[in-house]
Amino acid sequence: MLQAPAAPGLRETLVLRVLPGAVRTAGRAGNPPGDLQIQKRSNSGEESYGCNQCGKAFAYKSLLQIHKRIHTGEKFCGCNYCGKTFAYKSNLQLHERINTGEKPYGCNHCGKAFVCKSDLQRHARIHTGEKPYECNQCGKAFAQNSYLQKHERSHSGEKPYECSQCGKAFAHNSHLHRHERIHTGEKPYECSQCCKAFACNSNLHRHERSHTGEKPYECNQCGKVFAYKCHFQRHERSHTG
């Protein structure tokens, strides 16, 4: 519906009915065309401001304006150390701590300090044993959401990481990186004893046992020990026949 003109000298506002309980307000004079904000009324009668790009709603117009920088790419906050710019002041503050070395969040259990509060909260679960993220398929619980997401791929079979060289897909990013070394020939893990290099850290650890003599695999039937798992498994078959 169209509102009657206001008193002389006041701007006119066109209100378009969009949905029950919501109105769309056209920009006032001078606003860019199409910059319409959806103002949704909640049950309490309070107005919230909706993003016309993604529909996310905010209690205050100032928060909506900050959010819109995600879509526009606007960056107002610049680092005094390196000049890098950020859309949000909070992100700038986190970034600057990398330059200053400031770690204001300390663990009450072990004293380890962190740049971000969220990092401290994740770390604290090591001490508390809290595992708030639970798999809805098997009930297994995890301390971090990223661990749960990785685990869930064992149920779904999802393999989102694909090799650009051969197209082989992997469930975990770390597995893709390890695979890519087949194509590049990169061997970043070097033995400190003989300088032999390996593509995988696990292969380096196995190799190091040839220098240390470590034999971590012990047969529970006869007590014989082995340096390598494959040798241990082959030996176990001698007991089972």
- Give pLDDT tens digits for 131-157: 999 999 999 999 999 899 999 999 999
Q: How far is CA 119 from CA 103, 107, 131, in A?
A: 11, 10, 15
Q: 105-156 and 163-212: same fold?
A: yes
pLDDT in tens, 42-92: 445 555 788 888 888 888 887 787 777 778 766 566 777 787 777 667 777
Start-to-end CA distance of the chain, whole Å, equals 87
120: closest CA among 105, 131, 132?
A: 105
Cα separation values, 205 from 173, 178, 211, Å: 21, 15, 10
For 68, list phi and psi in degrees, rounded to 5: -60, -15
pTM: 0.46
What is the dihedral angle through the alpha carbons of 21, 22, 28, 30, rounded to the nearest 10 degrees?
A: 170
CATH fold for the domain made of 105-156: Double Stranded RNA Binding Domain (3.30.160)
Residue with tokens 């003989």: 194
The least confident of 71-80, 108-117, 136-145, 202-211 is 71-80
User: pLDDT band for position 198 (50/70/90)?
Assistant: very high
CATH class name, domain 163-212: alpha beta
Q: What pLDDT, on a 0 to 100 scale, did the predictor assign at position 46?
A: 56
Task: Sketch the domain layout of the chain as residue ranges.
Answer: 15-67, 105-156, 163-212
